[in-house]
């Protein structure tokens, strides 16, 4: 059932990051809100939500935040209020469960899959002591790259959920992956978080410095890399472009004291104008992320931002990595 918290109440909760799909039939509305406060039928909710509830119980935790149930979907005021609180929801959650492999809410993410067999090796050291070690096939880089092509990583709304979360458990097609701001660990063993996978702390640190002065680094800095990754994702409603990024922008504005105008920072406004739309016909592997093909550029049917902002068009945006002096 839904629990309404009071101001000052504290408790551990888990947040769910997932793909709705084309249609999500089970939501909280003004018509069933009071009923959901009393009970929510487990058998009626989609498979992905069921899997999340099962996992939370298995971890010995009690509370789970799911947007389709915790936000009144047909109440515009409640939706806008909760959308503005996304930074608080995901950054304060004890854990975020990412249904990375599921393309829609009926698919679920807890499935049987083939697990690589482990081989045991008996090792004798110089002192004659025997130790038993277990090894298994490990393809860290390949599987890490495959994760970028999972359904959840192509959805616009889940981008900030991943950046804002303090710790995430990804349920991907090939394996389960742990991620936090300091490192990732997968089933083949841990590896450090790649430099290009920018955390909010790293982006804020960048914005506080005058590193835009280095024009050759413009296309590879944490902020422009983040914009490239975000604009390569899809949104069902084009008008969600800034709401789906509001948690990240609000967090960065608070930590830097800077202000963001339609995606361009006041302190670095002129450099921020140097965005380009990636050409899908070019070799997309030369783009900053090199993992997701650019979207086909499209002109928006409705106004979303001034023409000088990359948010004014629908397409994958990047910043050139090198600029040359005129003359």
HEC string for the chain: CCCCCCCCCCCCEEEEECCCCCCCCCCCCCCCHHHHHHCCCHHHCCHHHHHHHHHHHHCCCCEEECHHHHCCCCCHHHHHHHHCCHHHHHHCCCEEEECCCCCCCCCCCCCCCCCCCCEEEEEECCCCCEEEEEECCCCHHHHHHHHCCCHHHHECHHHHHHHHCCCEEEECCCCEEEEECCEEEECCEEEECCCCCCCHHHHHHHHCCCHHHCHHHHHHCHHHHHHHHHHCCECCCHHHCCHHHHHHHHHHHHHHCCCEECCEECCCHHHHCCEEECCCCCCHHHCCCCCCCCCCCEECCCCCCCCCCHHHEECCEEECCCCCCCC
Return the pLDDT at 289. 52
What is the per-residue pLDDT across 254-282, written as a single tens digit (0 to 9) for each?
888 889 999 999 988 988 898 999 877 76
Higher pLDDT, 271 or 56: 56
Whether pLDDT at 189 is above 90: no
Higher pLDDT, 137 or 125: 125
Query: For 14-24, what is the mean pLDDT?
Result: 86
In whole numbers, what is the pLDDT of the chain averaged over residues?
80
Q: What band does 115 get if pLDDT is binned at 50, 70 and 90? A: low
Segment among 104-108, 146-150, 223-227, 294-298 with least mean pLDDT: 146-150
Q: Give the residue extent of every domain in the chain.
A: 13-110+142-192, 200-319
Query: For 175-195, what is the mean pLDDT?
Result: 72
Segment among 60-69, 227-236, 281-290, 304-313 with least mean pLDDT: 281-290
Higher pLDDT, 183 or 95: 95
Return the pLDDT at 147. 63
Return the pLDDT at 327. 43
Whether pLDDT at 98 is above 90: yes
Return the pLDDT at 326. 46
Whether pLDDT at 13 is above 50: yes
Q: What band does 94 get if pLDDT is binned at 50, 70 and 90? A: very high
User: What pTM value is reported for the model?
Assistant: 0.76
Return the pLDDT at 211. 46
Whether pLDDT at 197 is above 80: no
The Cα–Cα gap between 228 and 220 comes to 10
Return the pLDDT at 66. 92
């Amino acid at each position: 059932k839904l629990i309404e918290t009071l101001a000052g109440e504290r408790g551990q909760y888990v947040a769910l990051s997932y793909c709705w799909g084309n249609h999500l039939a089970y939501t909280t509305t003004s018509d069933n809100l009071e009923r959901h406060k009393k009970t929510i039928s487990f058998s009626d909710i989609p498979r992905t939500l069921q899997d999340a509830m099962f996992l939370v119980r298995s971890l010995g935790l009690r509370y789970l935040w799911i947007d389709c149930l915790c936000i009144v979907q047909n109440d515009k005021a409640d939706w806008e209020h909760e959308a503005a609180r996304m930074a608080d929801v995901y950054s304060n959650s004890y854990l975020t469960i990412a249904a990375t492999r599921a393309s829609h809410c009926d698919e679920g993410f807890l499935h049987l899959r083939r697990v690589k067999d482990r081989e045991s090796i008996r090792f004798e050291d110089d002192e004659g002591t025997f130790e038993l070690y277990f090894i298994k096939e490990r393809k860290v880089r390949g599987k890490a790259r495959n994760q970028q092509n999972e359904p959840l990583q192509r959805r616009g709304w889940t981008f900030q959920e991943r950046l804002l979360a303090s710790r995430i458990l990804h349920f991907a097609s090939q394996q389960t992956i742990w991620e936090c701001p300091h490192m990732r660990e997968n089933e083949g063993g841990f590896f450090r978080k790649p430099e290009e996978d920018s955390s909010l702390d790293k982006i804020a640190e960048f914005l506080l410095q005058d590193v835009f002065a280095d024009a050759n680094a413009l296309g590879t800095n944490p902020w422009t890399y983040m914009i490239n990754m975000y604009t390569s994702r899809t949104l069902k409603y084009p008008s969600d472009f800034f709401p789906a990024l509001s948690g990240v922008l609000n967090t960065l504005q608070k930590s830097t004291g800077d202000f963001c105008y339609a995606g361009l920072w006041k302190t670095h406004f002129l450099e921020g104008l140097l965005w380009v739309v990636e050409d899908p016909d070019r070799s997309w592997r030369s783009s900053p992320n090199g993992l997701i093909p650019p979207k086909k550029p499209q002109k928006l049917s409705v106004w979303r931002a001034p023409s000088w902002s990359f948010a004014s068009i629908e397409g994958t945006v990047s910043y050139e990595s090198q600029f040359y002096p005129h003359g």
